[in-house]
Amino acid sequence: MQSLFGLEGKRILVLGGGQGMGEATVRLLASLGCHVAIADRELDRAERVAAEVGGLVKTLPIAVDVLDDAALVAAVGRAERELGPLDGMATVIGMAGWGSLLEMEYEAWDADHRRNLRYFFVAAQAVARLLKARGAPGSIVCVSSIDGARSAPFHASYGAAKAGLMNLVKTMAVEWSAYGIRANVVAPGAIITPRIPHLGDAEAGAFERVPMLRRGTVDEIAKAIVFMLSDMASYITGQTLAVDGGLLAAYPIEMKEREARKGVIGGV
């Protein structure tokens, strides 16, 4: 299995590796023998994850705020120097600001673009420059959202930034394939995370629009990220993989979906 993924002995930088999807990605990479640099604004989180997988592989916890361009580029350089030549990067950091478009302040728009789109450009450019300088291939994966592929009511700036990631990897694919660098997006649907935990019974029925009738887990996102990082995806670049239990594919008219599920109608 390990040789199928081709990640044994490789080195990957995970931005936001201190909890949730990033932590799950670090754990899965380590289980496949991949060394990991774990960058997070909360150093204690990165250190905890590093300690927990440190028996399997080399780890490097790094404290960085990805909103600081110079610090972010320095963190990429540090990972390359101290962990060893990087083979790729996964970035999971992102968050939505909420509010109506009519009321939205310009600063709120910019904040969503900085913490979802801009930092990924800065980090990916830094990693790609290192790979190109060494003449080494690599894989870069970012986490978007299915809200970048449809409307994002009351979180428009987030949706636009996440859509930007989907477009940006296409350009990276075209410009960087010459250097053997792949770039892809994983787009989660509704996922249980430390910030949005499972609500138990209170959650029952809340995800009926999801064909698989449940939220996803951080491990299910990590599997898609690691797939894109690995040799299993060796001919895939510029793509977005939705990991959403079928939500993007769902039939748009709620009643028909419900009735069809009960076998009342067979479809249109």
Ligand X SMILES: NC(=O)c1ccc[n+]([C@@H]2O[C@H](COP(=O)([O-])OP(=O)(O)OC[C@H]3O[C@@H](n4cnc5c(N)ncnc54)[C@H](O)[C@@H]3O)[C@@H](O)[C@H]2O)c1
Scan residues 79-98 and list those touching ligand X (CB under 6 A).
92-95
Contact between 66 and ligand X per CB under 6 A: yes
Give which of 189, 195, 171, 191 is closest to 181, Cα–Cα: 171
Enumerate residues 6+ apart whose C-beta is below 8 A from 200.
none
Q: Which two three-digit tokens encode residue 130?
A: 């290192």
Contact between 42 and ligand X per CB under 6 A: yes
The answer to whether 181 touches 139, Cβ cutoff 8 Å, is yes
Rule CB under 6 A: choose which of 57, 122, 181, 190 binds ligand X: 190
Stretch that binds ligand X, among 62-70, 174-182, 206-214, 229-237 (CB under 6 A): 62-70
Site residue total, ligand X (CB under 6 A):
27
User: Could you give the CA distance from residue 177 to residue 140 in angstroms, rounded to a whole number?
Assistant: 12
Enumerate residues 6+ apart whose C-beta is below 8 A from 183.
124, 139, 140, 141, 142, 168, 169, 172, 173, 176, 237, 238
Contact between 195 and ligand X per CB under 6 A: yes
- Specify the residue, 4 or 95, whose C-beta has the smaller distance to ligand X: 95
| Residue among 106, 119, 158, 179 flagged as catalytic | 158
Binding mask 105-144 for ligand X (x = CB under 6 A): --------------------------------------x-
Shortest spacing between CB 145 and ligand X, in angstroms: 3
Backbone CA torsion sign across 146, 149, 154, 160: positive
User: Could you give the CA distance from residue 128 to residue 192 in angstroms, rounded to a whole number?
Assistant: 32
Shortest spacing between CB 3 and ligand X, in angstroms: 30
Contact between 149 and ligand X per CB under 6 A: no
CA distances from 261 to 204, 213, 266 (A): 17, 11, 9
Other CB atoms within a 10 A radius of the CB of residue 144 amount to 27
Binding mask 198-237 for ligand X (x = CB under 6 A): ----------------------------------------
Helix (H, G, I), strand (E, B) or coil at 245: coil
Contact between 27 and ligand X per CB under 6 A: no
- Specify the residue, 53 or 92, whose C-beta has the smaller distance to ligand X: 92
Contact between 40 and ligand X per CB under 6 A: yes
Q: Which two three-digit tokens encode residue 137?
A: 């291939």
CA distances from 33 to 53, 75, 176 (A): 10, 22, 26
Shortest spacing between CB 244 and ligand X, in angstroms: 8
- Annotated active-site residue 158? The verdict is yes
- Specify the residue, 29 or 190, whose C-beta has the smaller distance to ligand X: 190
- Specify the residue, 87 or 112, whose C-beta has the smaller distance to ligand X: 112
- Specify the residue, 213 or 264, whose C-beta has the smaller distance to ligand X: 213
Instruction: Quickly list H helices, the chain.
Output: 2-5, 20-31, 43-53, 69-82, 106-113, 119-134, 156-176, 218-229, 254-262
Q: What residues make contact with ligand X under the rule CB under 6 A?
A: 16, 18-22, 40-42, 45, 64-67, 92-95, 143, 145, 188, 190-191, 193-196
Q: Which residues are catalytic?
A: 158
